[in-house]
């Protein structure tokens, strides 16, 4: 038996071995929270306090869940595959599959990701002739999702005015259409499970009795519904509630914009009767200068539960800071630094480049690509979001559930089969009239249109029949063949990449089947394996107890389709390769690297302009910066740039206030330091030194353009309703095309259309 406990410090040891009561571990980044949580699971099982099936653990990403399973199987001689470890969404998916009848869902229900959901809403508006300018799809999506996250069905939403009544009505239509098609969105996974457990007492009591230990990582980012879900499953208020072990860091709460509620930590302490609150203050990840920077930065936030971090690792190297003249120069500098790190012996995958928004990655990727440097982007366009893969998935969805209208519409005329918009309108009318799915409504369409669509239905049916007993990978291959998708892309000029991706999908299926423990020859359509289902009796109700392992609750095909909607779906082909890691700060949560670059440290970008206006938004940005800094073990690089192309516009940003909040003694400037920070006017001196710099061009244009266009002139002080006071730096265009580059101090440089912007001279 392995000694699990020997490499823990005193506080960690105490946390791992707490008695079976609810506990909160509140600790800063890199203090071993995730390690403690994983070790506690192993310890509970190893000491016989619980069986591996009695534990439920929630992680923030699927990647984290996988890592936890790997660590556990190294610590324990048990089959971890059957364990209930996953994200809230993943765990709910399993429960709903096993109990789809109790949840009122078809067994083949399919999951919509947010892009699917947006398309679904647009389609709904169109079909019901609702003005999408008055009711923008984005607004509706936000409305529906936040209602669900508060646990509210349409009839429970407080519709206080005409507009809101209409929103609620659309929400209701949305639900009916989802039910008709057998699709659920992300929030629905949680709400459905929650409601199922609320209404079904035997089922609830069964799972409450089963999961005696519930463990939650990254607890600071749970939203209200997730919190209630935990409370229900843990049986808070019952005679014997489960022990909930929550670990989190209020300083790393970075999902408030998506409804996460850090207040759940304080609520948890009271409502779960927490007797043990443990703080871990020893950091095992980062060297001193990095940690000092993180600690001093986050001290600027006011609403904190209060804790600190120390390290024994020594001060290490200072944090390196670089000011670039452009985003392209910034990218080239990263490239040079990465080259020298690699020369010094660092593997690529111990180097991470972080940015605040996805749009920033393009320039960096371009530089890396041109230099032939291996890199991998997380959270960009996911493998499963590529058009050709979406098409293939749509065919697979129709195999499993032909009533999924979105899938039907996506491929009924792709590749082209001569089915026009007119025929589809006829079909949609018929479907509405008879309250059917599009697939089921095909026989109601007369004439040639009906006949062509009938052929499509037969294609689906016959492919389904042909693949009946095939294992998943073979089936996927056959579907690519029969659908003519591959042939279609082969004839396209730049289709080779797409064909390659389609072939990757077959590989992804091979990998998936083996990783999830489906038999190699298990037919893609085969339902849950009988030997994995235990029927137990609870009073006079029979309950089918679900195992966590996917084969116990769904067919290989259904599991693969869930995987496509729920998982990050990074291209498997790249997975094992040693490559530089590119990602947003949000997706770096929980990870660590020897070397980290934080790029684009500019006002308006990081802190982001949407958040910088209010104190709460700014504090969330600062926590995000804290997360970014604390990813680094040994070496941290910070960079910003004077100009940047973003969304087709050149921006002249001032350096981030966060840089000025870091302790000077921990920083080492690689570029000449231009002081002071974000509140200063543009750095004229630096511009004048460099004859080719943008500033000189601006200066010469200023001279040319001075005085024209309705009295706007460079140097004019103006005020703007959103950005406050600023000064015009440069004018361009004339008449109705006139635009001005204006420096708004802490909001940075903006390019505004003078005929639209509500500017006032001051
Ligand atoms: P985050 O807040 O970023 O999620 P965390 O608190 O979850 O961080 P871990 O990822 O669990 O921290 O641990 C950080 C690093 O410190 C890991 O590499 C882990 O293996 C190591 N570590 C944790 N505890 C110890 C210990 N007692 N001795 C040695 N190394 C440790
Ligand atoms: Mg962690």
399-412, pLDDT tens digit by residue?
A: 999 999 999 999 99
Mutate to test the pocket of ligand 1, among 35, 68, 352, 626 (most ligand atoms within 8 A of CB): 35
Q: What is the pLDDT of residues 617-631, one digit of tens each?
A: 899 999 999 999 999
Mean pLDDT for the chain overall: 86
Higher local confidence (pLDDT), 102 or 690:
102
DSSP string covering 382-425: -GGGSHHHHHHHHHHHHHH-TT-HHHHHHHTTSS--S--HHHHH
Å from CA of 581 to ligand 2 middle: 18
The residue with tokens 């040994």 is 634
Higher-confidence residue of 475 and 527: namely 475
**Cα 455 → chain centroid:** 39
Q: Which of 11, 12, 33, 486 is catalytic?
A: 33
Confidence (pLDDT) at 195:
96
Lowest mean pLDDT among 219-223, 288-292, 380-384: 380-384
Residue 242 makes CB contacts below 8 A (sequence gap 6+) with: 208, 211, 212, 213, 214, 233, 234, 235
**Active site annotation includes 631:** yes
Least confident of 432-441, 525-534, 594-603: 525-534
Give the lowest-confidence range in 149-163, 469-483, 675-689.
675-689
Distance from residue 247's CA to the centre of ligand 2 (Å): 8
pLDDT band at 615 (very low <50, low <70, confident <90, very high): confident
Candidate of 8, 11, 34, 40 to mutate for ligand 1, largest count of ligand atoms within 8 Å of Cβ: 34
Query: What percent of the chain stands above pLDDT 90?
Result: 57
User: Are 217 and 57 spatial neighbours (Cβ–Cβ below 8 Å)?
Assistant: yes
Q: Give 117 Cα–ligand 1 centroid separation in angstroms.
A: 37
- Rounded to the nearest angstrom, the distance between the alpha carbon of 663 and the centre of ligand 1 is 24
Mean pLDDT score, 181-186: 93
pLDDT at 174 over 60: yes
pLDDT digits over 699-754, tens only?
334 334 434 446 777 667 888 888 888 877 777 777 777 778 787 766 766 778 88
For a mutational test of ligand 1's pocket, the pick from 6, 26, 32, i.e. the residue with the most ligand atoms closer than 8 A to its C-beta, is 32
Quote the CA–CA distance of 314 and 289 in Å, as a whole number: 9
DSSP 67: H
- Over the stretch 698-708, which tens digit does the pLDDT of each residue have? 333 433 443 44
DSSP 171-222: HHHHHHHHHHHTEE-HHHHHHHHHHHHHH-HHHHHHHHHH--EEEESSGGG-
* Pocket-forming residues, ligand 1, beta carbon under 6 Å: 7-9, 12, 27, 29-35, 249, 252, 284-285, 590, 592, 630
Catalytic hit among 148, 231, 589, 631 = 631
Question: Any binding-site annotation on 31?
Answer: yes
Express each pLDDT in 193-215 by its tens digit.
Answer: 999 999 999 899 999 999 999 99
Instruction: Choose, from 116, 218, 337, 621, the residue flagged as catalytic.
Output: 218
Reported as a single tens digit per residue, the pLDDT across 265-282 is 999 999 999 988 999 999
Can 621 be counted among the known catalytic residues? Answer: no
The answer to whether residue 2 scores a pLDDT higher than 70 is no
Tell me how far apart the alpha carbons of residues 247 and 258 are, in angstroms, rounded to a whole number.
Answer: 20
Residue 8 alpha carbon, nearest atom of ligand 1:
27
Q: Is the pLDDT at 288 greater than 70, yes or no? A: yes
**218 has catalytic annotation:** yes
Compute the distance from residue 561 Cα to the ligand 1 centre, in Å: 34
Q: Please tell me the predicted confidence (pLDDT) of residue 313.
A: 87
- For ligand 1, atom 2, name the residue with the nearest CA: 29
Q: Which residues pair with 544 in a beta bridge?
A: 535
Q: Looking at the CA of 9, name the nearest ligand.
A: 1
Q: Is 33 a catalytic residue?
A: yes
Cβ neighbours for 285, distance < 8 A, ≥ 6 positions apart: 29, 30, 592, 630, 632, 633
Taking the CA of 589 as reference, the closest ligand is 1
CA of 60 to the centre of ligand 1 (A): 16
266: annotated active-site residue: no
Mean pLDDT of the region 364-377: 89
pLDDT at 670: 92
What pLDDT band is residue 682 in, cutting at 50, 70 and 90?
A: very low
For residue 37, the ligand 1 atom closest to its alpha carbon is 11
Digit-coded pLDDT (tens) for 558-608: 999 998 888 754 444 455 678 999 999 998 999 999 999 999 999 999 999
- Cα–Cα distance between 382 and 709 in angstroms, integer? 47
Active site residue 252: yes
pLDDT beyond 60 at 22 = yes
Which three-class secondary structure state does DSSP give residue 84?
strand
- The closest ligand to the CA of 281 turns out to be 1
Q: Catalytic residue, from 12, 117, 220, 252: name it.
A: 252
641-663: pLDDT as tens digits: 998 887 777 888 889 999 999 99
Instruction: Give the confidence band of 540 by pLDDT, cuts at 50, 70, 90.
Output: very low
> How do strand 749-753 and strand 667-669 relate by DSSP bridges?
unpaired
Q: What does pTM read for this prediction? A: 0.81
- Residue range 166-176: mean pLDDT, rounded: 95
pLDDT for 39: 95
Task: State the pLDDT confidence band at 107, using cuts at 50, 70 and 90.
Answer: confident
How wide is the angle at C-alpha 183 spanned by C-alphas 179 and 184, nearest 5°? 95
pLDDT in tens, 313-333: 899 999 999 999 999 999 999
Give 23-67 pLDDT, tens digit per residue: 999 999 999 999 999 999 999 999 999 999 999 999 988 888 988
Three-state DSSP state, 100: helix
Atom of ligand 1 nearest to the CA of 249: 2
The mean per-residue pLDDT over the stretch 183-201 comes to: 95
Instruction: Decide if pLDDT at 695 tops 70.
Output: no
27 is known to lie in a ligand binding site: yes
- How far, in whole angstroms, is CA 257 from its chain's centroid? 12
């Amino acid at each position: 038996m392995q000694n699990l406990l020997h490499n823990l410090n005193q506080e960690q040891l105490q946390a791992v071995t707490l008695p079976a009561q609810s506990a909160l571990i509140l600790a800063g980044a890199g203090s071993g929270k995730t390690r403690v949580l994983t070790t506690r699971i192993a310890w509970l099982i190893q000491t016989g306090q619980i069986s591996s099936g009695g534990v439920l653990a929630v992680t923030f990403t699927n990647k984290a869940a996988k890592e936890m399973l790997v660590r556990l199987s190294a610590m324990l001689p048990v089959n971890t595959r059957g364990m209930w470890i996953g994200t809230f969404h993943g765990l709910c998916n399993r429960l709903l599959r096993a109990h789809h009848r109790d949840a009122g869902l078809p067994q083949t229900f399919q999951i919509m990701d947010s892009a699917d959901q947006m398309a679904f809403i647009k389609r709904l508006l169109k079909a019901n002739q609702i003005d999408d300018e008055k009711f923008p799809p984005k607004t509706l999506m936000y409305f529906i999702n936040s209602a669900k996250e508060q646990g509210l069905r349409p009839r429970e939403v407080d519709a206080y005015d005409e507009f809101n009544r209409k929103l609620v009505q659309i929400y209701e239509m949305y639900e009916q259409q989802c039910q008709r098609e057998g699709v659920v969105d992300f929030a629905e996974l949680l709400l459905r499970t929650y409601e199922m457990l609320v209404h079904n007492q035997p089922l609830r009591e069964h799972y409450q009795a089963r999961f005696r230990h519930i463990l939650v990582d990254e607890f600071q980012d749970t939203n209200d519904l997730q919190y209630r879900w935990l409370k229900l499953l843990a049986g808070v208020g019952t005679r014997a509630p489960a022990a909930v072990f929550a670990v989190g860091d209020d300083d790393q709460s970075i999902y408030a914009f998506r409804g996460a509620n850090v207040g759940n930590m304080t609520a948890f302490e009271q409502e779960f009767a927490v007797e043990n609150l443990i703080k871990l203050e020893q950091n095992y990840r980062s060297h001193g200068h990095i940690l000092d920077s993180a600690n001093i930065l986050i001290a600027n936030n006011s609403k904190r539960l209060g804790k600190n971090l120390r390290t024994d690792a020594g001060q290490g190297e200072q944090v390196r800071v670089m000011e670039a003249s452009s985003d392209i120069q910034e990218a080239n500098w990263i490239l040079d630094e990465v080259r020298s790190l690699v020369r010094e012996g660092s593997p690529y995958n111990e180097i991470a480049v972080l940015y605040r928004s996805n749009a920033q990655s393009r320039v960096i990727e371009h530089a890396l690509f041109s230099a032939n440097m291996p890199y991998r982007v997380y959270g960009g366009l996911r493998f499963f979001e590529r058009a050709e893969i979406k098409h293939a998935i749509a065919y697979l969805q129709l195999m499993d559930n032909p009533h999924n209208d979105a899938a039907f519409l996506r491929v009924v005329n792709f590749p082209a089969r001569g089915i026009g918009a007119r025929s589809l309108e006829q079909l949609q009318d018929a479907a509405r009239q008879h309250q059917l799915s599009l697939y089921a409504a095909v026989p109601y369409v007369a004439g040639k249109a009906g006949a062509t669509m009938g052929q499509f239905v037969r294609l689906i049916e016959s492919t389904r029949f042909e693949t009946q007993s095939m294992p998943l990978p073979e089936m996927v291959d056959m579907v690519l063949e029969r659908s003519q998708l591959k042939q279609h892309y082969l004839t396209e000029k730049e289709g080779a990449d797409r064909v390659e991706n389609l072939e990757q999908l077959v590989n992804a299926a091979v990998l998936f089947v083996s990783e999830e423990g489906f038999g190699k020859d298990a037919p893609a359509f085969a339902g849950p394996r009988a030997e994995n289902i235990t029927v137990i009796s609870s009073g006079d109700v029979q309950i089918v107890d679900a195992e966590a392992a996917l084969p116990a609750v769904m067919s290989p095909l259904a599991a693969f389709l869930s995987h496509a909607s729920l998982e990050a779906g990074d291209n498997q082909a790249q997975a094992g390769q040693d490559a530089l890691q590119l990602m947003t700060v949000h997706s770096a949560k929980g990870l660590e690297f020897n070397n980290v670059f934080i790029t684009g440290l500019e006002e308006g970008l990081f802190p982001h302009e949407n958040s910088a206006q209010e104190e709460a938004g700014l504090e969330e940005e600062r926590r995000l910066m804290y997360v970014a800094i604390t990813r680094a073990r040994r070496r941290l690089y910070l960079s910003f740039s004077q100009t940047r192309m973003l969304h087709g516009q050149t921006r002249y940003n001032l350096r981030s206030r966060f840089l000025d909040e870091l302790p000077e003694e921990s920083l080492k400037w690689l570029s000449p330091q231009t002081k002071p920070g974000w509140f200063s006017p543009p750095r004229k001196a630096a511009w004048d030194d460099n004859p080719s710099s943008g500033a000189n061009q601006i200066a010469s244009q200023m001279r040319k353009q001075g005085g024209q266009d309705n009295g706007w002139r460079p140097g004019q002080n103006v005020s703007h309703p959103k950005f406050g006071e600023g000064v015009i730096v440069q004018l361009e265009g004339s008449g109705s095309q006139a635009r001005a580059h204006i420096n708004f101090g802490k909001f940075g440089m903006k390019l505004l259309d003078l005929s639209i912007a509500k500017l006032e001279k001051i």
